[in-house]
Amino acid sequence: EGMTVVELAKKTGVSIRYLQEIIINVGEKADSEFVPLSIDTAELVAMEVGVNVKRLHSDEGAVLQPRPAVVTVMGHVDHGKTSLLDVLRKTSVAAKEAGGITQHLGAFVVEMTSGASITFLDTPGHAAFSAMRARGAAVTDIVVLVVAADDGVMPQTLEAMSHAQSAKVPIVVAINKCDKPSADPERIRIQLGSEGLHLEDLGGDVQVVEVSAKTKHGLDKLEEALLLQAELMDLKARIDGPSQAYVVEARLDRGRGPLATAIVKSGTLLCGQYIVVGSEWGRIRSIRDMLGRETTSGRPAMPVEIEGLKGLPMAGDDVVVVASEERARMLSSGRKKKLEKDRLLKASEGRIEIDDTSDETSTSSRVELPIVVKADVQGTVQAVTDALKSLNSSQVFVNVLHVGVGSISQSDVDLAQACGACIVGFSIRSPPSSITLAATQANIKIFLHRVIYHLLEEIGNYIVEKAPGMV
Ligand code: GDP
């Protein structure tokens, strides 16, 4: 905020006159190059000239209040991330109020007897975390690193560690499956220690808790450890003033339209405000808490469901409050244009990359696998897409043509048929028999899965089937 045209010209290397022209085009006055532009105008102008801008939210001088920690669960596949989240969710406020029934909404809040609370992001795994970070969404305060006591430190354990460390997010280790006879928590401690994690038992500052998602043993200890870590971090946020938030999940509701679960980072989100979320915009029609109750505002670290967006945002998108509908539309369309430009640029880079890295014979032997991805929620769509792309190699090119939230539709089948693609459905119900029939007739394979690992295995087999000569 507070950048003048002169400063903007310096930053972007574009002439003042040209900048002023753009400013007039976006409907602003360009009287003086020394008067600071509004942050929205600065963003619009920067987008026009192809420069990336980041909104810095200064909390200088604002009153800060303590806020709960936001926690993400990470770890190797099958070490119990989902199970742990399931049992934690059952102890959440929502589950208590609703008699144990809970919905997957992207986040939930666990309230301790002391009155303190912890917000958990309800999407396990690294893809979601990386996708959020890639969008600059530093939502997570603490990472719970899950390691199975009967298995030990595995590649994705190390990956999770490096994700957390590079994001400077402290880790609390949960050694899971301690109920198993073959559990050997000591061994895990030694392994983690030798990977450079400074465990508290050995004089470091990383807490370790032994748990079992199956018997629920140690869950209270884990929650205490998280509270302690949060206390050490002295997490605070501005309560008053315009809000900034991040989307953790988005879904389409038949009656209510696009719904986004967002976690407020600072300020207070209010009903009726105009917002821009990623490249979408809207006016907040209602705000609901995790119990589905309508509230009038969302406060820091509180997951809320926002209704009133015109389109479906993506996990990691930022929510910014703007002054008017016109401003919201303008920013949204500006961002959409920029996204499209970036996408085209990436697509052409992708081409070049493939051509560069392969000589003629290997180009022709590279198997292209066009895929349409459908999943239950936006967070999963991303996780699945990222996971599928991890199959890319010098021999395989996974080409994700289209992604979407919801069940497999006729138009998905049409697209798949047109492109010779297969369809991946993740955490969604089987399509109606008419769709299945249409797919079969068009010779389109549909893969339905609920576990990434199983999906990758089957797609791997499918690739081998399609290209028998390949290793
Ligand atoms: P994720 O891939 O990390 O999300 O792992 P899951 O939560 O899907 O768990 C993988 C498998 O381990 C499942 O069969 C779970 O039932 C099992 N599991 C998870 N936690 C525990 C535990 O504490 N004890 C035992 N015995 N099994 C567990």
Nearest CA to ligand 1 atom 16: 83
* Protein residues whose CB sits closer than 6 Å to any atom of ligand 1: 75, 77-83, 124, 176-177, 179-180, 212-214
Asked if 263 and 246 count as a contact pair (C-beta separation under 8 A), the reply is: yes
Nearest CA to ligand 1 atom 6: 80
Compute, in angstroms, the gap from residue 104 CA to the centroid of ligand 1.
18
**For a substitution probing ligand 1, which of 79, 82, 83 has the most ligand atoms within 8 Å of its CB?**
83
Distances (CA, A) of 229 to 179, 226, 381: 25, 5, 31
Nearest CA to ligand 1 atom 24: 177
Ligand 1 atom with minimal separation from the 76 CA: 3
Gap between the Cα atoms of 254 and 5, Å rounded: 45
Compute, in angstroms, the gap from residue 176 CA to the centroid of ligand 1.
8
Gap between the Cα atoms of 261 and 243, Å rounded: 15
Ligand 1 atom with minimal separation from the 124 CA: 4
Three-state secondary structure call for residue 165 = helix
Beta strand pairing status for 446-449 and 171-176? Answer: unpaired
| Structure tokens that stand for 156 in this block | 């994705």
Compute, in angstroms, the gap from residue 121 CA to the centroid of ligand 1.
18
Q: Is the ipTM of this complex over 0.85?
A: yes
**For a substitution probing ligand 1, which of 72, 74, 78 has the most ligand atoms within 8 Å of its CB?**
78
Nearest CA to ligand 1 atom 2: 78
| Structure tokens that stand for 301 in this block | 């670290």
Ligand 1 atom with minimal separation from the 86 CA: 7
**Which backbone phi and psi does 149 adopt, to 5 degrees?**
-65, -20
Compute, in angstroms, the gap from residue 214 CA to the centroid of ligand 1.
8
What is the pLDDT at residue 67?
A: 92
Compute, in angstroms, the gap from residue 20 CA to the centroid of ligand 1.
59
Closest of 129, 175, 180 to residue 148, by C-alpha: 175
Gap between the Cα atoms of 247 and 252, Å rounded: 14
Gap between the Cα atoms of 167 and 82, Å rounded: 22
Compute, in angstroms, the gap from residue 304 CA to the centroid of ligand 1.
29
Compute, in angstroms, the gap from residue 86 CA to the centroid of ligand 1.
10
- Indicate the residue type of 54: K
Closest of 163, 147, 78 to residue 452, by C-alpha: 78
Compute, in angstroms, the gap from residue 411 CA to the centroid of ligand 1.
36
Closest of 188, 182, 168, 284 to residue 233, by C-alpha: 168
Compute, in angstroms, the gap from residue 78 CA to the centroid of ligand 1.
6
Nearest CA to ligand 1 atom 17: 80
Three-state secondary structure call for residue 470 = coil
Nearest CA to ligand 1 atom 19: 80
Nearest CA to ligand 1 atom 10: 78
Ligand 1 atom with minimal separation from the 146 CA: 3
H helix intervals, 300-359: 325-357
| Structure tokens that stand for 88 in this block | 């934690």
Ligand 1 atom with minimal separation from the 213 CA: 23
Low-confidence ranges of the chain (pLDDT < 50): 351-364, 471
What is the pLDDT at residue 135?
A: 60
Gap between the Cα atoms of 112 and 180, Å rounded: 28
What is the pLDDT at residue 356?
A: 39
Gap between the Cα atoms of 296 and 294, Å rounded: 7
Nearest CA to ligand 1 atom 11: 78
Compute, in angstroms, the gap from residue 110 CA to the centroid of ligand 1.
21
Asked if 144 and 74 count as a contact pair (C-beta separation under 8 A), the reply is: yes
Compute, in angstroms, the gap from residue 35 CA to the centroid of ligand 1.
59
- Indicate the residue type of 288: R
Asked if 440 and 402 count as a contact pair (C-beta separation under 8 A), the reply is: no
